[in-house]
Chain A
Amino acid sequence: MRLWLPLLAFAALLAVVATALYKPADRAVHSALVGQPLPAFRTEPLLAGRPGVASAADGKPRLINVYASWCLPCIAEAPQLMRLKAAGVRIDGIAVRDTPEAMRQFLARNGDPYAAIGADKDGAVQLALGSSGVPETFLVDGRGHILDQHIGDIRADEVDGILKTLGQAR
Chain B
Amino acid sequence: MKRLALILAIIAAPVLADSKLPPAPLANTQLRDPAREAQAQALMVTLRCLVCQGQSIADSDAEMAGDMRSLVRTRIQAGESPASIRKWLVTRYGDYVTYDPPMSALTAPLWIAPLALLAFGLWLARASFRKRRRG
Contact = CB atoms under 8 A, between A and B. Distances in A.
Interface of A: 27, 29-33, 39, 68, 70-72, 96-99, 102, 121-124, 126-130, 132-133
A30 B94 contact: yes
Interface size class of B (residues with CB under 8 A): 20 to 34
A83 to B, nearest CB: 25
A122 B25 CA distance: 8
A27 B54 CA distance: 12
Contact of B64 (A72, A123, A128): A123
Contact of B68 (A96, A99, A127): A127
Given A122-B70, A127-B68, A72 B17 contact: yes
Interface of B: 15, 17-21, 24-25, 50-51, 53, 63-64, 67-68, 70-71, 89-94, 96
Task: Please list the 10 inter-chain residue pairs (A to B) with the smallest Cβ-Cβ separation, ordered nearest first.
Answer: A130-B92, A97-B19, A123-B67, A122-B24, A132-B50, A32-B94, A97-B21, A70-B19, A29-B50, A130-B93
Nearest to B96: A29
A143 to B, nearest CB: 19
Given A29-B93, A72-B15, A127-B71, A133 B21 contact: no
Contacts of B19: 68, 70, 96-98
A111 to B, nearest CB: 21
A87 B92 CA distance: 31
A99 B50 contact: no
A140 B17 CA distance: 27
